Structure 1
Amino acid sequence: MLRVKVAKEIREKEQLGDELKTLRSKVKELEKSLSGLKDEHARLAENEEKFRTLIENSTDLKYRCDLKGRISYLSKAWEDALGYKSTEMIGSKFSDFQSPESIKFDADEFLKELIDKKISSYEAAYISKSGNIIHLRFNVMLYRSHTGSERGIMGTAYDITGLKCIEDQLKQSQKMEAVGRLAGGIAHDFNNLLTAIIGYSEMLMMNNLLPENAFQSADEINKAAHRAAALTQQLLAYSRKQVSRPRAFNLNKLVNNLDMLLRRVIGENIEFFTVLEIDVGLVIADPGQIEHVIMNLAANARDSMPNGGALTFETRNVNLDEEDCEKYPEVTPGPYVRLTVKDTGHGMDKETARHIMDPIFSIMDPIFSIKEGGRRTGLGLATAYGIVKQNNGQLRVTSEVHQGTAIEIYLPRAEEKIEKKETPQRKLETEGGNETVLVVEDESAVRIMVGTLLKGFGYSVIEAKDGNEALEFCRQNKEMMIHLLITDIIMPDVSGFDLVKRVIKTHPGTKVLYISGYSEEEISNKGTLGKKVPFLKKPFTPTVLARKVRGVLDRD
């Protein structure tokens, strides 16, 4: 029995030893697994830290919300974008920070569309802590639990404020181009009417037998017509279809030459200062048009300071690089001269400043179309904008309520070191003749006025209402000497260019004088008007027409 008992104890000890070995082996395996888990945990923690560092230092706007739209996480970039610390936004909804004009989404409807995959992105405008409008584009997606149920919304937002600014500028440019076409057409029709009004009024004033009271009436009609002609020039300037004659000139000299006139325009209760860079470069532009812009801006500044203030003109050489030109899509990098016109007037809020160059806004808003005392400013800054754009420049407005307005005009800087001077033209005496002149004009009032005037100067005049009638006359009178053909350029059926080509074939030696109410830019779309081709822009006075006719006839 004892031997059996001892043997049993030995077997049990051996069994315990085996189990102990197995246990020790498993402990080692567990220790090894635990070490692996620790290493894996360390790797995961390291990766998480790398990911968090990457997210927190990214310029992308990462976010996470619950299913009700409440913000639960924001990356650090949000603070730079909106100015709020994450602690100020977490727990709120993005809609709490939206601009009032921005469309707000119903949370339940938005979630439904997101689940149905009807929406993956959206845009909205937000108000930053500093009060600026920030446009954001959101990419959105659902994130789910391990069981597959929706837990919340996450994604990335992008600041598209700069893109929106460019889009607004493009829309504004397209709008101004459309209204510009309308303005150009209106100006053309006005020019035809004004040619007749100016012509007939001056013809009346040439009559020595006209009673004094009738002479005064004709003079008033003539003055009013010339004022109307100046208005059409504003329309053409706005539409960027006014004939531009760019040359190199010194902007400082232009401002200094206008000094006395500017002081008269703004009045004695407004102080006038000039800060002109001594070595300012020459600019390439039409000096007459830029003078018009300066006077327009001075008048606007005066009207914004009814109780007095200060008006300052500054010039400076600047170089616009690629980054600068991102603000102005139509401007190329390079050297410019900047003219800044600053006033201390009532200023404008941001919304008004955004629309101030909108032609429809300028016309319809009484603040800018009719100033104090009933004085009208026409198209205001829209006119200045059109002129500056026509001269390959850019106009920028910055303003604050009660702080005044600053208008910056950028004009291309010239490479020429010497300012080109205009060659004075020899003045022609107004005298008539006995030559035969064919007048072709589809506007009857202009045609009759021109014919009457030339007959009064002794010319033999044939009138035709259009190109077809003129060609028929030439066909029936092949032997007649036609010394001069005066023709409108843009007419129905047969244009002035086509008419000239066909008349020259039947009547070689006939000289030509083109007239038109359209600008040279528009005329170039209908044909070629060479630099040496005689051209007279409507409206014109009888004296100017008579001198032009005599000059063309006397030309070799």
Structure 2
Amino acid sequence: MKKLLDRMIGSLVFKIALSIVIVETILLGLFGGYYVQYFGAEIDRRIAEQISAPGRLIQDEQLKISVISDPEQMELLLGPHVQEAMAIGFDGTIYHTMDPMMIGRSVKDLPDFPKDELRADMTEEVLFTSDDSSGRNMVSITPLFTLNANQPFMYAYFKVSTEGLEASQRQMQSVLLIGSAMCILLTSALIFLFTQQTVLKRLITAAQFVNNIQIGKLSSRLTPMGRDEIGTLERGLNAMAESLERRTLQHQIAQDALRDSEERFRDFTLSSADWYWEMGADLKIAFASYKFYQLIEEINGSPQGQSFDKLGLHSEDQDGWRYLNSRLSAHMAFQNIEFSWTSRQGEKHFGRINGVPVFELDGTFKGYRGTGSDITSQRRATEEQQALQRQLATSQKLEAVGQMAGGVAHEFNNCLAGILSFAEVARAKIDNPDRVKEYLDHVISLGERATSVADQLLMFSRRRIDQPTNVRVYSVFSEMEKLLITLLEHRIELQIWSNEPELHTRVDPTQLSACLLNLAINARDAMPDGGTLQISSRSVEIAPLAQRSVDDDEETYPDNVSGKFVVITVQDTGMGIPDDILENIFEPFFSTKEPGKGTGLGLSIVHNWVEEAHGFINVETVEGEGTTFSVYLPHVEATEEATQSKDVIDSIPGNGERILVVDDEQSLRTTAGIILEDAGFKAVSAKSTEEALEILKSTDDTNKIDVILTDVVMSGRSGPQLIIEALRQNPQYAVVFMSGFPARSRKELDKLLGNYVFIKKPFRPAQLQKAIHDALALRAERQST
């Protein structure tokens, strides 16, 4: 027992508990004394309030003064410890009292009565304590006044013993002392038990753990019971044990980890679709994952010890390897370097690599580590997507051409009717040269009119690459006017005007015409009962976002645009666009037309093209009144562009040169032969490539061919194939190509041939003569060099 007591007294738990008990005792003593005084004062206040209450009630006439003579009422009002209650006149005579024997006596005859307190100038009640043979008492004297009196006519006197108050205070002190003692004992016991379980027990467990570590049980661990200081100690002891165990098994663990890491990395590199590589400080490949090694080995042997530019890869960018080498030399990271290679099967593949430099802790450069990936499928998917977009654009253009077919057929019929009529009249007036010339001029005019309609059709149906040039916007309006009149039919009035006719923008004129055509088609469909379509142009200066007026809400511009713009406005008086679909009108395949009457691509293609031209579109619409599309394109200053003159070219005569005319159309061969013969050339015709090659083989120095005039597209072998074969036999031929598909044909010829002369069908006689002359001049220049 003594040993246990000594152990308890010497323990940390006992010292902590004792300290807490002392502190609690001091705190409870202070708070107990405070509350004893507080409760005593509170009881005094309540007794004083109780003893003065009857006097105030009598003064306020809420009690009759005769109640003082009733002991039972006084005991109810003042409690069981009431001693005396009297109504005393201003001369000291007792008029009412609890003792009937005292009525009529004077207070001067009472030995312990405080006579000095009954003053004539007394205005408020007086409370005070007094001691006599019966003990300590509390006295209340209240002056009573009549109406408008300035001195009391009587005094209400009450005396109450404080014996009950003192008994209550002693009882409260006893309760507080007993409660404080029990609280201290209970708290001390709880603190002792708590610290015993939470501190001492954990310390004993920690001591046993240390003993286990000392005898070699390194796998022993403590279970931390919290985040307090002992918990920190427990975790620290665990960390110490782990460190000792780790050091003991360090060599074996390191070997296992290294083997696992190598296997894991090998599994990743074998299963991953990406490549992994590493190079040393000499910028030569030191490690390549299996797929990267297999790729390089297939095209250029082992990659080990090779630099990137020696691996047989080809940069997709002209400066790609130069940029990569500059980053490698500067020991800087690089990303998304794209390259290509050709497999053994002859297929072209694409890849992308990334790399980051690696440094020692002291900053020494160690080399690079990086990744790569095969992006062939992504590139092909992108190309397919672009091809699909081109097909969609072409389909939309063809849809527009289809919608124009009726009007175009009508226009062609008008032209052909006029040509036939004037030809018949000219034949009838063959003896009148002046009238024949007049009729033939009308025939030529109608032929040019039909040619203009055909050119418009080709412009919207052919596939082409954008060729931006400085375009006078009003000129495009003028060229489109006839086509739009045909498209809109007679039920819609077309109005074209501009406040600034000399506005220029840099776009592809064909794409601008297609944009106007699409907007016009939409406007036509929005006016089934007829209406007015206005196409106009103006310029506007858009200020930067920071300089725009907050009160200017007439136009809404994107935040990132500023500068001078050309505004092309297409306004109709149709049905308008409902608000619920206004946000969707530029989405591909979104259409409000009936199935089979629209693809929903027109506005989408217009929107995409305008954005590619660095412009934007605003739409204003009112249901039942109409819609206005405003196309904003960047403004440029007017420049002199080299344009082909449309005027008649002066006649260029020949000198007997032999021209081989090759075309599968009999009328064109005959017409071209007549034009050339009249100009002084000698024409030989062939209806196919095979016949032309036979003619060329049969010629000699006496009847040699000087110029080959051939159509590009013919049945059988094409014109370019004829020229390639002919030039292989004799490179001295001059060559002129002719075609009714100028944009497509010239694009194809650019890929096959170098210098050549091209003429568009249909052509005027002087244009054909000039083309033959240009081809002969080009041949002479080629021979001189």
In the superposition, the TM-score normalised over structure 2's length comes to 0.35
Task: Pick the structure with greater CA Rg.
Answer: 2
Taking CA–CA contacts closer than 8 Å with sequence separation of 6 or more, which of the two structures ends up with the larger relative contact order?
1
